[in-house]
Structure 1
Amino acid sequence: MFKLDSVVSGQWLAGQLTHSNLVIVDCRFRLGNPDWGYEQYLTRHIQGAYYLNLDSDLSSPVTQHGGRHPLPDLSLFAEKLAGMGITLGETLVVAYDDLRLAFAARFWWLLRYLGHEQVAVLDGGWTAWENQGYPTSNVIPEAKLGQFVPQPCHDWIVDMEGVKHRKIQPQTRLIDSRDGDRYRGEIEPIDPIAGHIPGAINSPWKQVTDEQGYILPVTAQQGLWETCSTAEEIIVYCGSGVTACVNLLSMELAGIHGAKLYPGGWSDWCSYLV
């Protein structure tokens, strides 16, 4: 079977648009305007693409704890995937957004977490696709019939208690993926408390791409994680388990496998402090 790389180019995707075993997913989103991405999708999207919303599709409802974007209900999410024609382990899936992979990487990680490795993100995202003149449309594709029975890798995630007990272990490296000013507690635009989890080091997710949203070379990805080379366990978090997935993608490209996600992130951690 053809093995899909974790990152694909616009040129490659443009040549595959008529492939019967390909599903494209538009993940554009804005935290301050949850409807914005779908409105953009209705206006224009990559030809044949479906749309998934970070809040309502890639996450479950917010509760007192668990963070601002808890992982989605697996059965409901699986139904949505099947309705787009995705069959576990078989369908080639490509996700894109227009914010340096912030949301496409969340989808990429979710599918792999559920046992589907045939998933990639689009290098350069929507902006590059549009600028290069590749096919776009405002037509919403019809529902399809796939078969998706989740096979979650439960050891890929860590909850608050797990982080609390394991972050003090010398063989564990805890990575905060947020911008440096949020990590240092100089600003906090979203959560009620500023700062970071004690013991965490900072590696901002935006270092993975350039300002145009293109993935930096593999050597650059490897350079980001030199300090993790001796770690036996790596746990990655951000504000709410979204942009941390960009760093997890980077680690995969750098040849570092098995890093774990703390999905609740800082928003979950600080919910126990207020």
Structure 2
Amino acid sequence: MAFALLAVLSSFLLSQVAAHGGVTSYTIGGTTFAGWQPYNDPSSQSSIERPYSSYDPILSPTDAKISCNNNGQASAKQLTTSVAAGTAITAHWRHGPVMVYMAKCSGSCTSSNSNSLKWFKIAETGLISGTLGNGKWGTGQVMDTLAYTATVPSSLAPGEYLIRHELLALHQANTPQFYPECAQLTITGSGTKTPSGTYLASFPGAYSMSDPGVNVNIYSADANSITSYKVPGPPVWNGQ
């Protein structure tokens, strides 16, 4: 069963890319939705994407802003769009790669603080082949098009959800750079399942600086002989 959703759903390593960036738009069922513009007047914007103020990275996995790159709240003119479970969604980036999570809101997502939600991962791409120091990473899949497509699990129960897209840049030795952003979706369909247990995580809380997928030096003497990489966070939930 397909489990990927959104071009920004999962943790990707940037071994070559040092630029900053964020999600600029989403393509859902052939319709394009504009993303948030962090340097424009927030009072004049309406978007399905949650507001954030800068393309600059978050440098600590315990930063209070790591859930959605803001204080956890919706914008004053927050939008939500309906998406049928099983729909492919593409997130478009100005720079770099991603990791994908979703979180079910207990009621209205607009009134939900993202820091209080439980998140589950629906897609990830880490080291595909080669070594830590000289390998093919998830970022290579998106650099040509600046997009990464995944699919909402078709078994997911209907309701209001946040979708969280995250870049994890590892191009600076032992100094990870997190680029998380969120959008609001209303999932429709006949699904009945939601993940539980080890599939759920909180932000902050899902990562620590001691995680092997976070505390990485791709320039170390051993990096060119290491052929495995563990993407941080919980395992991917595929809808089962």
- TM-score bracket for this pair, using the shorter chain length: 0.3 to 0.5
The structure with the largest alpha-carbon Rg is 1
Structure scoring higher RCO (CA < 8 A, sep ≥ 6) equals 2
Please give the TM-score of this superposition, normalised by the length of structure 1.
Answer: 0.30
Higher strand share: 2
Higher helix share: 1
